[in-house]
A and B are shown apart, each in its own frame.
Chain A
Amino acid sequence: MTDTAFLEADEQALAQRFIDDGFVTTPADHRAGLDRIQRRAAELAADYLKLPHGNDPYAMLDTIHTRVSVDDLNGLRLHVFNGLNAEPWFRPTYFRLARSTIETIVGNELCMQRRVNLSIQLPGDDSSLLATHSDVWSGDSPFEVVVWVPLVDVHRTKSMYLLPPSLNGDMQDRMASLRSAEELYQTIKPHATFIEIPYGHVMLFNQTLMHGNRINEEAGSRWSMNCRFKSIMSPYADKRFGEFFEPILLRPATRVGMQYKLPGGFHG
């Protein structure tokens, strides 16, 4: 690590964990905000299923597989996704869940993905799987991170897996000789780690590392959200500024710099 003399000890430790493990999990900075998101997600799900709003949003989400079929799952997911993203408080609240970690790992002039994604994985369902991938392979910049937030406790196959940084390069070197992402998964499987995250915590991970999910073989349904953040002036890839990302924190010195023009009109 560089610049360690300029960082506080807790920032150094967090940064080192991110470099070494490829992810960090921490308690949400804004627990009330997370509870509000969870409650709204449960209300939207109840609306879609024409059920009354209950007073136990965790149970509503965790047991959603008892109320919705696989055929209707994407309809439910889109209803909750659109409903959450339509709330003006939603994205600022999502950012506040992990603000301190984002600022330590990424920086304090930031852009954020315009829509926060939502995943729902019912136990035994093979229709919502994400094959082994790195976001960079499909057009994300390697300068981005993902903030991944579960709305229920996740563990083992109810969670996502990540390949450790120490192995990612070697596995990438083998990729061109493999035919499909499933073959790639079988290659990395012994080394991939499913990350355990209790409700109330958030994860920030390095999306250049291979990751994905498998069929949820646990008892409850997985609900998780994910959203990308990057330093606003760092390089973009296919996911462009404006169409995919929008600025959320731009500091006054940068605004001044972007508007400044040197004196002109010289004729010498």
Chain B
Amino acid sequence: MAERAGHRGYIGARPLNGSRTPQHVQNIVIRDYARRKNLHYLLSAAEHTMPSSYMVLEDILDELPRLRGLILYSIFMLPPDEARRRAIYDRVLSEGCDLHAAVEEITLSSRDNIQAVEDILLVNKFATIL
């Protein structure tokens, strides 16, 4: 098998939890995270601004056989549908890759990590922010 390239960054153009972060700042956060975790960062792909589009994420998932993993700017960029998220975890892990979220400093590298990630996403769905 050819040498895998590194970790692809994944940034977004849609607000997250009601907040907007400039794309170049998202890239700085990912680049810094990759440096601290000793990951080889590959130029980020930016998700579409259209609501509910995950076309760019799908392209990265298709690229996984040539990658070591992906680094999301935030875990809250994952699709809201739990079944779709679990399909993503399956694809990442079955390709021998891992998934990181830079803002939350989350690493998903085995099935044991999935529930912790899902707990964060579920609590965020129901808890309010003052």
A residues apposed to B, CB below 8 Å: 74, 127, 131, 136-139, 175-176, 178-182, 184, 237-240, 243-244
Query: Which B residues are in CB contact (< 8 Å) with A244?
Result: 22, 24
Would you call B62 and A180 a contact (CB within 8 A)? yes
Choose among A178, A181, A240 the residue that contacts B56 (Cβ–Cβ < 8 A). A181
B residues apposed to A, CB below 8 Å: 5, 13, 20, 22-24, 43, 45-50, 53, 55-56, 58-59, 62
Would you call B46 and A138 a contact (CB within 8 A)? yes
Q: How far is the CB of B26 from chain A (nearest CB, A)?
A: 11
Nearest residue (CB) in B for A77 is B43
23 contacts between A and B (CB under 8 A): A74-B43, A131-B59, A136-B49, A137-B48, A138-B13, A138-B23, A138-B46, A138-B48, A138-B49, A139-B13, A139-B49, A176-B53, A178-B55, A179-B55, A179-B58, A180-B55, A180-B62, A181-B58, A182-B59, A238-B22, A238-B23, A238-B49, A243-B22
Would you call A238 and B43 a contact (CB within 8 A)? no
Q: A127-B5, A238-B13, A243-B24 are in contact. Are A138 and B59 (CB under 8 A)?
A: no
| A244–B22 CA distance with the chains assembled, in angstroms | 9
| A239–B24 CA distance with the chains assembled, in angstroms | 10
| A181–B23 CA distance with the chains assembled, in angstroms | 20
| A138–B24 CA distance with the chains assembled, in angstroms | 12
Would you call A182 and B23 a contact (CB within 8 A)? no
Query: Which B residues are in CB contact (< 8 Å) with A180?
Result: 55, 58-59, 62
Query: Which A residues are in CB contact (< 8 Å) with B22?
Result: 238, 240, 243-244
Q: A238-B23, A243-B22, A243-B24 are in contact. Are A137 and B59 (CB under 8 A)?
A: no
Query: Which B residues are in CB contact (< 8 Å) with A178?
Result: 55
Query: Which B residues are in CB contact (< 8 Å) with A237?
Result: 49
Nearest residue (CB) in B for A114 is B24
Would you call A137 and B49 a contact (CB within 8 A)? yes
